[in-house]
Amino acid sequence: MSKQIHFGLIGAGRIGRVHAETLTFRLPEAKILAVTDIDSEAAQALAAHCGIPTVTDSADEILANPAIDAVLICSPTGTHAELIVKAAEAGKHIFCEKPIAFDLGKIDAALAAVEAAGVQLQIGFNRRFDANFVRVRHAVESGEIGKPSLMHIVSRDPAPPPISYIRSSGGLFLDMTIHDFDMARFLMGDEVEEIYTSAGVMVDPEIGKAGDLDTALILMRFRNGVIATIDNSRKAVYGYDQRVEILGSAGKIEIGNCYPNQAIVSNGSTVHRDLPLNFFMERYTESFALELKSFTQAVLEGKPTLVTGIDGRIPVVMALAARKSYDENRPVRLEEVNA
Amino acid sequence: MSKQIHFGLIGAGRIGRVHAETLTFRLPEAKILAVTDIDSEAAQALAAHCGIPTVTDSADEILANPAIDAVLICSPTGTHAELIVKAAEAGKHIFCEKPIAFDLGKIDAALAAVEAAGVQLQIGFNRRFDANFVRVRHAVESGEIGKPSLMHIVSRDPAPPPISYIRSSGGLFLDMTIHDFDMARFLMGDEVEEIYTSAGVMVDPEIGKAGDLDTALILMRFRNGVIATIDNSRKAVYGYDQRVEILGSAGKIEIGNCYPNQAIVSNGSTVHRDLPLNFFMERYTESFALELKSFTQAVLEGKPTLVTGIDGRIPVVMALAARKSYDENRPVRLEEVNA
Amino acid sequence: MSKQIHFGLIGAGRIGRVHAETLTFRLPEAKILAVTDIDSEAAQALAAHCGIPTVTDSADEILANPAIDAVLICSPTGTHAELIVKAAEAGKHIFCEKPIAFDLGKIDAALAAVEAAGVQLQIGFNRRFDANFVRVRHAVESGEIGKPSLMHIVSRDPAPPPISYIRSSGGLFLDMTIHDFDMARFLMGDEVEEIYTSAGVMVDPEIGKAGDLDTALILMRFRNGVIATIDNSRKAVYGYDQRVEILGSAGKIEIGNCYPNQAIVSNGSTVHRDLPLNFFMERYTESFALELKSFTQAVLEGKPTLVTGIDGRIPVVMALAARKSYDENRPVRLEEVNA
Amino acid sequence: MSKQIHFGLIGAGRIGRVHAETLTFRLPEAKILAVTDIDSEAAQALAAHCGIPTVTDSADEILANPAIDAVLICSPTGTHAELIVKAAEAGKHIFCEKPIAFDLGKIDAALAAVEAAGVQLQIGFNRRFDANFVRVRHAVESGEIGKPSLMHIVSRDPAPPPISYIRSSGGLFLDMTIHDFDMARFLMGDEVEEIYTSAGVMVDPEIGKAGDLDTALILMRFRNGVIATIDNSRKAVYGYDQRVEILGSAGKIEIGNCYPNQAIVSNGSTVHRDLPLNFFMERYTESFALELKSFTQAVLEGKPTLVTGIDGRIPVVMALAARKSYDENRPVRLEEVNA
């Protein structure tokens, strides 16, 4: 590789740290020149850990730095759309965490700015780079299982986030299901046209008091006729549960969970194994690295990214439709919320 | 066991033969005295095979035989309700294949006759006696997985039945899903109050021309709040696919398919095993024997059967609601079809 | 089937009961006419349970009954060889439990009597009829895994038998490993030429005091060069452990244990399943029925049985070689003990 | 971390590159200052890839560099012992690939030099750092499976190395089984006292012509009475096969292979998954990184390494005993070759 991409990192929280470590320790073709965070101590600590030469007071300073080719937007969701607009106007390529925004108008403005500036944009749907989901997508795309008819996505967290997070996250469909909406589109290579949601508060009444749901079953019908479900729960006591199954005319493909080891222990009571990898940091470690590698290569080679702005927009439409369906207890067509 | 139950068998078709073999070769406490079938050759052959002393020209002769304690109704669905009424009036205990009828009025008349006569009635929902489903029921009942929140039933046939069968079977929901509706109630120990169906014709257009569906996803909400799905397909090329998963507050339980052997073969291409047991005759062999053993014991001991007339009626209500939901593309409450 | 085989049963202990139930309830082509046992109450009880018309005081009465075509020898090992001789002389076909005897001279005399009388003899190596081992044999025979090079048999009991049994059983190699010696020959379709044994007393010192071993690893070299091991333990706390693995030039085949159900439970501690089928009565149920069906058919059709007298003799040679190897801590060629 | 360890790398072949990448991209606390290789182009290329500032003509230059704290010896086996002596005399800490030497005298001289110099030495038995084997060791050490009695190690390569490699590798026991000998000691936490080997040439006659074996079953008896086997084959067509099973008085633990994904595909023929991770570079990726992290921390903290010089010596004794046992077809006590 003849050139190195210089990054600016906006946001030094959990996911910002993950990305900083990937760029620093695993991608020789990338280098972070500057980092910023409202919490300047967090930014300083991350800079020290990863050898980032500059800590700035604001994202604006990063965007004004002509040595920076691309920005990683890892700040809170509420800031994403505006930062995308600014970064695009500054001519920076953009890697932005999901979701772009809760509001379609803001998303459209952001995507328009990206388009006008001709910069590249990738949305942080990391699961598309996970070896398991890649294998499933391959099975669908290659015809290995024939023409698909039914799909099931199970996506359950080991434990609910703090109520404070739930209040500002946009709710279950926008903070959690959004990954599964993306996965549904990615795996099927087709678009959903109608959604029906059945959901409830079964994990913690406090989640309900905060106006959110913690358990949901979302039924989707794709344009190609495939019927799919997403099964979400904020709490699976046995850990992070991430599975997919697709039935096709020539077979089916299923993926099970990932485990820290392959050991099976038999004793006088059961035949058992250790619990699955507990949460997304362990389960999706490689996919976080691969999405940044993919973005870096797209920028280096001037090719389109694999998760575009539209890929960031559609799951938000789906989330809005899912909520509307729940509120009105009826199937909702995506065009109803996409007017 | 001090006494033997004398059976009359009405219907010598596929399921009639299965039950005759069970009673003859595996249940010392049962004996078949007479068999009848419209196809008298089939009746004769089965009598020879199982040592049944009498072949009669009609069910009426069987019902008139005072030596017969109980009848097995294995004739076509259209005859079930009327035969139940007659058998009850004749004072015979009744084991009847599912469904009782497609029409709730006929079912209610049959159940009223049973009640009036004080005889015992068991419906042939054999899966309730399968070791796997029994294990799942135990997990729910005992609290092993805590309070349930989500359930998924997958039930796919290896290949569709003949179109001629589909024309008279009552359709997917009444001939196939009906087992899964029973299973849903049995496993959860609770009643469904609302159903939403998404379905289509994806296996064979001829099935659609016959007015039926071949692929369905049925979403159910139980009174206790549990959200459940049934996934049905008339065709899974890899064989009979019969699985269940329940998520609860303290864990989950899943059952996989059953296989003819435990061999795993690795070669230069894959790590693989033989296909699952291909269809219900292999998969549910033991449960067919156990349901008759259970019925025989209930009769001998004068105790209620484990699958009552009401258990035969409710799945028909669910099937009618599932079809109405599909036809109108909206969630349907069971009370709408149970008026 | 035009004819029925009439059996006499010698021995109404555990395995005698299993065989009696098979012949009575599952094989229409077989009928037991008489049973005998030193414990006449056991014989009476079994006769009542299975509808056996006659209980005799001695095996001689059974052998003298001209209506009896075949005998099942289920009495203690010490009596097998002599009963085979007598039965052969009486012109009865013979199904005999393993081992024929601990002494090669007695075995040879018994086999000579069978040969002279021209009757059929089958030894009770039931595992040859188990669907799992049949699948493995098929893989070897058909070339599915290419030319075999390494084989491993694991065979562990859930708990040791009573010390009294161990004192008269002939010891680990003759009462337990003998099944695995047969399996080794059956699966490979070849003969062992040398054995090396490493063994010890690790389960219970009382077993050692009784002169026996409870844990053994037996290494065998076949004529075709295949190297194989048998892993035996008198005690596996998790239940009956019966597995095989064969490596060949084109792949490998492994069989795992059999379970009472396919349920997998995940909770806050582990992902687990119930223990395997606990012992041979559950694990090999079908194979006990199939071996008798096979014997009955061989007799009816006048064809050779699938487990002949030589198949009963060679595992005894192997057991003697295994013990000699252990005693002298060196590899022992089978010809050394087969002089 | 307050300090960084400066490394010199001797050998830029396959394993040298793996270690260089780990130190460069994954261990902030390590830095490679210089690299050398007989093939200077390989050294140059690796230096460019990993940003190593200096390429030297000889190991001596590296050892003479006072800025270097530790050396990685990744050169051919024949040079290990002498380089250990020189490095120790130069006061460098040493990470050396296995085996130290084929000759116990040379090993003893090297270990004596290390001891005299007071430097730290770690042998490259990376599998000790694999999450699977760590889990097994934990089960043994913690008493989770009670007192062990039987252990089986399966270790098969996907394909044999070139004949040229075999001629200089020391043979199967010294180049391949040596990892399993280490694993046996590590997992059991005890020493082997006697070995019996059965082996042959079943994969490729050319291997036999080169004086080596390609298939082996090694039976070991530990001081604590445990009986163990190692199953080695130079060729498993389905890929790298790395498994362990231990039976103990309270249970057993087994580890299966590792796979590139968790996908299970069912079609009209089989239920299958992709082949296991094909070879050690994929299978043991993490363990290579962890062993260097462990070594680096040991050096930084002045603590003993987790794989010492004695741990490098004993497997060579075991390999010599295994070969002697094969040559003489008798069990060989380790003391016979350790005189």
Cα separation, C204 vs D147, whole angstroms? 12
pLDDT at residue C3 greater than cutoff 90: no
Helix, strand, coil percentages for chain B (3-state, nearest 5): 45, 25, 35
Cα separation, C142 vs A29, whole angstroms? 53
> How does the average pLDDT of chain B come out, rounded?
96
Q: Are residues D24 and D149 in the same domain?
A: no
pLDDT at residue A2 greater than cutoff 80: no
Tokens coding C94: 């013979």
Contacts D131 to A, Cβ<8 Å: 260-261
Asked whether residue D300 is domain-assigned, the answer is no
Q: What Cα–Cα distance (Å) separates residue A83 from each residue in A93, A118, A311, C271, D289?
A: 12, 16, 18, 44, 38
pLDDT digits (tens, 9 = 90+) for A219-268: 999 999 999 999 999 999 999 999 999 999 999 999 999 999 999 999 99
Tokens coding A238: 């046995």
Asked whether residue C290 is domain-assigned, the answer is no
Residues of chain C whose C-beta is under 8 A from some C-beta in D?
A: 146-147, 149-150, 152, 156, 196, 198-200, 202-203, 215-217, 219, 221, 225, 227, 229, 231, 233, 235-238, 241, 247, 249-252, 329-331
Tokens coding C123: 């030894």
Q: What Cα–Cα distance (Å) separates residue A203 from each residue in B238, B250, B274, C17?
A: 37, 11, 40, 53
Residue A159 Cα, gap to closest chain B Cα (Å)? 11
Q: In what order do the strands lie in the sheet with D121-123?
A: D54-56, D30-36, D5-10, D70-73, D93-96, D121-123
End residue of a domain, out of C119, C137, C167: C119
Asked whether residue C303 is domain-assigned, the answer is no
* A225:B200 CB<8 A: yes
Q: Are residues C98 and C12 in the same domain?
A: yes
* C260:B145 CB<8 A: no
Residue D167 Cα, gap to closest chain A Cα (Å)? 35
Tokens coding D106: 């040379």
pLDDT digits (tens, 9 = 90+) for B220-233: 999 999 999 999 99
List CB contacts of B71: < 8 A, sequence separation 6 or more: B7, B8, B9, B10, B59, B62, B63, B83, B87, B92, B93, B94, B95
For D258, the closest chain A residue by CA position comes to A262
End residue of a domain, out of C67, C97, C119: C119
Cα separation, D195 vs D170, whole angstroms? 18
End residue of a domain, out of A84, A119, A154: A119
pLDDT for the residue numbered D1: 39
Q: At D245, phi and psi to the nearest 5?
A: -140, 135
Asked whether residue A302 is domain-assigned, the answer is no
Nearest to D19 by CA among D297, D289, D286: D289
pLDDT for the residue numbered A24: 87
pLDDT digits (tens, 9 = 90+) for A95-134: 999 999 999 999 999 999 999 999 999 999 999 999 999 9
Nearest to B268 among D238, D270, D271 (CB): D238
The three-state DSSP-derived secondary structure of C183-245 is HHHHHHCCCEEEEEEEEECCCCHHHHHCCCCCEEEEEEEECCCCEEEEEEECCCCCCCEEEEE
Residue C232, strand partner residues: C155, C216
Asked whether residue C138 is domain-assigned, the answer is yes
Q: Are residues A99 and A170 in the same domain?
A: no
For D276, the closest chain B residue by CA position comes to B271
Contacts B263 to C, Cβ<8 Å: 132, 135-136, 139, 253-255
First to last CA, chain C: 45
Residue B113 Cα, gap to closest chain A Cα (Å)? 39
The dihedral built from the CA positions of residue C123, C126, C129 and C135, taken in this order, carries a sign that is negative
Q: At A69, phi and psi to the nearest 5?
A: -90, -35
Q: Are residues C59 and C134 in the same domain?
A: no
Residue C153 Cα, gap to closest chain A Cα (Å)? 18
Q: Give C162's DSSP letter.
A: P
pLDDT digits (tens, 9 = 90+) for B79-104: 999 999 999 999 999 999 999 999 99
The gap from C-alpha C180 to its chain's centroid, in whole angstroms, comes to 8
> How does the average pLDDT of chain C come out, rounded?
96
Percent of chain D with pLDDT over 90: 93
Q: At D73, phi and psi to the nearest 5?
A: -95, 105
pLDDT for the residue numbered C24: 87
Please report, for the domain that includes residue C32, its CATH number: 3.40.50.720
- Residue B200 identity: G
pLDDT for the residue numbered B289: 93
Nearest to D114 by CA among D90, D150, D149, D148: D90
Cα separation, C81 vs A78, whole angstroms? 88
* B131:C260 CB<8 A: yes
Asked if residue D220 lies in contact with residue D195, where contact means CB atoms within 8 angstroms, the answer is yes
Q: Are residues C107 and C238 in the same domain?
A: no
Residue B169 Cα, gap to closest chain A Cα (Å)? 23
The three-state DSSP-derived secondary structure of chain A is CCCCEEEEEECCCHHHHHHHHHHHHHCCCEEEEEEECCCHHHHHHHHHHHCCCEEECCHHHHHHCCCCCEEEECCCHHHHHHHHHHHHHCCCEEEECCCCCCCHHHHHHHHHHHHHHCCCEEECCHHHHCHHHHHHHHHHHHCCCCCEEEEEEEEECCCCCCHHHHHHCCCHHHHCHHHHHHHHHHHHCCCEEEEEEEEECCCCHHHHHCCCCCEEEEEEEECCCCEEEEEEECCCCCCCEEEEEEEECCEEEEECCCCCCCEEEECCCCEEECCCCCCHHHHCHHHHHHHHHHHHHHHHHCCCCCCCHHHHHHHHHHHHHHHHHHHHCCCEEHHHHCC
Residues of chain A whose C-beta is under 8 A from some C-beta in B?
A: 146-147, 149-150, 152, 156, 196, 198-200, 202-203, 215-217, 219, 221, 225, 227, 229, 231, 233, 235-238, 241, 247, 249-252, 329-331
pLDDT for the residue numbered A1: 38
Nearest to A233 among B231, B247, B251 (CB): B247
Contacts C150 to D, Cβ<8 Å: 215, 217, 231, 233
Angle at A31 between CA A28 and CA A34, to 5 degrees: 165
pTM of the model: 0.95
Tokens coding A9: 């990192």
Asked whether residue D292 is domain-assigned, the answer is no
Nearest to C131 by CA among C284, C253, C245: C284
pLDDT digits (tens, 9 = 90+) for C177-202: 999 999 999 999 999 999 999 999 99
Asked whether residue B289 is domain-assigned, the answer is no
Cα separation, D282 vs D26, whole angstroms? 16
For D245, the closest chain C residue by CA position comes to C154
pLDDT digits (tens, 9 = 90+) for A4-23: 999 999 999 999 999 999 99
Contacts D237 to C, Cβ<8 Å: 146, 249-251
Q: Are residues A164 and A115 in the same domain?
A: no
Residue C34, strand partner residues: C8, C54
pLDDT band (50, 70, 90) for residue B25: confident
Q: Are residues D142 and D95 in the same domain?
A: no
Tokens coding D257: 């292979």
pLDDT for the residue numbered A78: 92
Q: Are residues C58 and C142 in the same domain?
A: no
- The alpha-helical segments, DSSP class H, found in chain D are 14-21, 40-50, 59-64, 77-89, 104-117, 131-142, 163-169, 172-175, 177-188, 205-209, 280-283, 285-301, 309-328, 334-337
- The alpha-helical segments, DSSP class H, found in D189-255 are 205-209
Q: Are residues A79 and A182 in the same domain?
A: no
Counting Cα atoms < 13 Å in the Cβ hemisphere of D300 gives 18
pLDDT band (50, 70, 90) for residue B1: very low
Q: What is the largest CA-CA distance in chain D?
A: 67
Q: Are residues C139 and C114 in the same domain?
A: no
Residues of chain C whose C-beta is under 8 A from some C-beta in A?
A: 236-239, 266-276
Contacts D238 to B, Cβ<8 Å: 266-268, 271
Nearest to D189 by CA among D145, D155, D239: D145
Counting Cα atoms < 13 Å in the Cβ hemisphere of D288 gives 21
pLDDT digits (tens, 9 = 90+) for D48-61: 989 899 999 999 99
Q: What Cα–Cα distance (Å) separates residue C258 from each residue in C241, D264, D313?
A: 9, 21, 43
Residue A254, strand partner residues: A245, D264
pLDDT band (50, 70, 90) for residue D279: confident
Q: Are residues A139 and A274 in the same domain?
A: yes
Nearest to A262 among D49, D145, D256 (CB): D256
pLDDT for the residue numbered B194: 98
Chains near A (3 or more Cβ pairs under 8 Å): B, C, D
State which residues form the domain around A324. Answer: 128-284+315-337
Q: Are residues B173 and B247 in the same domain?
A: yes
Asked whether residue C293 is domain-assigned, the answer is no
pLDDT digits (tens, 9 = 90+) for C105-163: 999 999 999 999 999 999 999 999 999 999 999 999 999 999 999 999 999 999 999 99
Burial (0-12, 13-18, 19+ Cβ within 10 Å), D211? exposed
Work out the average pLDDT over C85-113.
97
Residues of chain B whose C-beta is under 8 A from some C-beta in C?
A: 25-26, 28, 49, 131-132, 134-136, 139, 144-145, 250-258, 260-268, 274
Cα separation, A15 vs A18, whole angstroms? 5
Work out the average pLDDT over C36-65.
95
Residues of chain D whose C-beta is under 8 A from some C-beta in B?
A: 236-239, 266-276
How many other CB atoms are found less than 10 A from the CB of residue D223?
11
* C131:B260 CB<8 A: yes
C97-131 b/e (C-beta count within 10 Å ≥ 16 → b): bbbbbbebebbebbbebbeebebbbbbbbbbbbbb
How many interchain CB pairs under 8 A, C with D?
93
Burial (0-12, 13-18, 19+ Cβ within 10 Å), D330? middle
Please report, for the domain that includes residue D218, its CATH number: 3.30.360.10
Q: Which helix (H) or strand (E) holds B196?
A: strand B192-200
Asked if residue C276 has a cis previous peptide bond (ω within 30° of 0), the answer is no
> For chain B, what is the domain count?
2
